[in-house]
């Protein structure tokens, strides 16, 4: 038995080559709202098919496949949600992630991976015009719309960590603000916090809408343009750099952080939320693997190392904090 277990097997090869099928099965289930339908009490293939306006045969085959890959349970002829699918794929759940496929499976990002061989040869994206970093790239509107809900817990955690008392006057610059939720989290907790959101003009429209919906529009202003080119102004108590630094190489980040430092008030802090793998560069897999996304979609972006964060500012304005939020590491 031991000798048999150690024999080579092509199983991983075939599973990896066919992994697109898992992606498309999950995408189909989300588009059919299948997980929500099951949570509403539809458990047989016929019931689920009726709820999803689909054929019974197609629904049964899809549900069986989702069971095999661990997204559903099956007892006899009835299907149920797992703990994970109930939390993240039921549209009625506050932690619903289904809308994230609009960004994660967007043509721009998928096409970048179709050119991965060329990206490996080049050492950066093979997509023209700087890939995902092209000015006013429409994919960032999709990101802001699709990923905002996923970022709410992290945004609330950062605001709590940096401004625990929520009673001091704060001027906050939110760089690459996107949906704006990181800055808005400060403003909703602290009535004395004023937010300046910086991003491309087309993306800032959603940030403005979210500020309005959160009741903080009177303390929310914007700067449109590139974080590397526009004038920030000065006197900021907090500068937020969430999910941004990994798009660039070390020299570019050092240049940016010197500019950030110059915009801070005395005692001000820069705060970043980043993918920080272990020093072996292969663990934990979900975070370490993000480097491949940067290779495929950006000219020189990569995962951030905690030691690099410490060196990026000449005055060490970034001081490592041992806090983890949503599988990212928060440093300040």
Phi-psi category of 82—alpha, beta or left, where left has phi over 0 and alpha has psi -120 to 50?
beta
Number of helical H runs and strand E runs in the chain: 17, 9
Is there a single domain that holds both residue 308 and residue 231?
A: yes
Distance CA 288, CA 160 (A): 27
Final residue belonging to a domain, choices 43, 72, 94: 94
Is there a single domain that holds both residue 157 and residue 75?
A: no
pLDDT at 113: 95
Q: Kindly report the CATH number assigned to the domain that includes residue 246.
A: 3.40.50.150
Is there a single domain that holds both residue 84 and residue 122?
A: no
Could you tell me the pTM of the whole model? Answer: 0.82
Q: Kindly report the CATH number assigned to the domain that includes residue 49.
A: 1.10.10.10
pLDDT at 145: 83
Is there a single domain that holds both residue 84 and residue 117?
A: no
Is there a single domain that holds both residue 174 and residue 250?
A: yes
Final residue belonging to a domain, choices 39, 65, 94: 94
Is there a single domain that holds both residue 42 and residue 72?
A: yes
Contacts by residues 199-203 (CB-CB < 8 Å, ≥ 24 positions apart) = 199/140, 199/224, 200/135, 200/136, 200/137, 200/140, 200/224, 200/225, 200/226, 201/136, 201/225, 202/136, 202/138, 202/140, 202/141, 203/140, 203/141, 203/144, 203/177, 203/178
150 and 98 Cβ atoms separated by less than 8 Å: no
pLDDT at 131: 59
pLDDT at 134: 65
pLDDT tens-place string over residues 257-279:
999 999 999 999 999 999 888 99
In this structure, the strands spanning 220-224 and 264-274 are: unpaired
Domain that holds residue 323: 103-331
Task: Return the number of other C-beta atoms located less than 10 Å from residue 231's C-beta.
Answer: 9
Tokens of 275: 């993918």
pLDDT at 147: 80
pLDDT at 305: 59
pLDDT at 328: 42
Is there a single domain that holds both residue 79 and residue 107?
A: no
Is there a single domain that holds both residue 35 and residue 142?
A: no
Final residue belonging to a domain, choices 27, 62, 94: 94
Number of domains in the chain: 2
Is there a single domain that holds both residue 126 and residue 19?
A: no
Is there a single domain that holds both residue 172 and residue 146?
A: yes
Is there a single domain that holds both residue 109 and residue 223?
A: yes
| Tens digit of each residue's pLDDT, the chain (332 residues) | 565 667 899 999 999 999 999 999 999 999 999 999 999 999 999 999 999 999 999 999 999 999 999 999 999 999 999 999 999 999 999 889 999 998 899 888 899 999 999 999 999 999 887 656 666 677 778 888 888 778 889 999 999 999 999 999 999 999 999 999 999 999 999 999 999 999 999 999 999 999 999 999 999 999 999 999 999 999 999 999 999 999 999 999 999 999 999 999 999 999 999 988 899 999 998 899 989 999 999 998 876 654 444 444 333 334 333 333 333 444 44
Phi-psi category of 215—alpha, beta or left, where left has phi over 0 and alpha has psi -120 to 50?
left
Is there a single domain that holds both residue 38 and residue 142?
A: no
pLDDT at 303: 62
pLDDT at 327: 36
In this structure, the strands spanning 193-199 and 170-175 are: parallel
């Amino acid at each position: 038995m031991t000798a048999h277990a150690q024999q080579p097997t092509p199983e991983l090869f075939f599973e990896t080559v066919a992994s697109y099928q898992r992606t498309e099965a999950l995408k189909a289930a989300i588009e059919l709202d299948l997980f929500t339908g099951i949570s509403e009490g539809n458990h047989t293939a016929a019931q689920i098919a009726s709820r999803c306006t689909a054929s019974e045969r197609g629904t049964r085959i899809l549900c069986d496949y989702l069971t095999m890959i661990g997204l559903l349970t099956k007892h006899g002829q009835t299907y149920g949600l797992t703990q994970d699918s109930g939390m993240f794929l039921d549209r009625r759940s506050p932690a619903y992630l289904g809308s994230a496929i609009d960004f994660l499976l967007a043509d721009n990002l998928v096409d970048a991976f179709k050119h991965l061989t060329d990206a490996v040869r080049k050492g950066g994206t093979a997509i023209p015009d700087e890939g995902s970093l092209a000015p006013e790239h429409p994919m960032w509107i999709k990101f802001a719309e699709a990923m905002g809900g996923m970022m709410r817990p992290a945004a609330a955690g950062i605001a709590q960590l940096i401004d625990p008392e929520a009673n001091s006057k704060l001027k906050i610059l939110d760089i690459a603000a996107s949906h704006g939720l990181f800055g808005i989290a400060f403003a909703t907790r602290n009535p004395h916090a004023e937010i300046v959101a910086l991003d491309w003009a087309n993306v800032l429209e959603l940030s403005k809408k979210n500020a309005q919906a959160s009741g903080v529009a009177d303390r929310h202003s914007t700067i449109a343009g590139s974080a590397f080119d526009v004038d920030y102004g000065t006197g900021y108590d907090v500068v937020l750099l969430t999910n941004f630094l990994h798009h660039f190489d070390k020299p570019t980040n050092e240049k940016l952080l010197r500019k950030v430092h110059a915009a801070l008030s005395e005692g001000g802090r820069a705060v970043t939320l980043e993918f920080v793998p272990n020093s072996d560069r292969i663990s934990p897999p979900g975070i370490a693997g993000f480097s491949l996304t940067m290779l495929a979609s950006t000219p020189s972006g990569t995962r951030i190392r905690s030691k690099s964060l410490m060196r990026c500012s000449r005055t060490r304005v970034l001081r490592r904090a041992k806090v983890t939020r949503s599988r990212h590491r928060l440093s300040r």
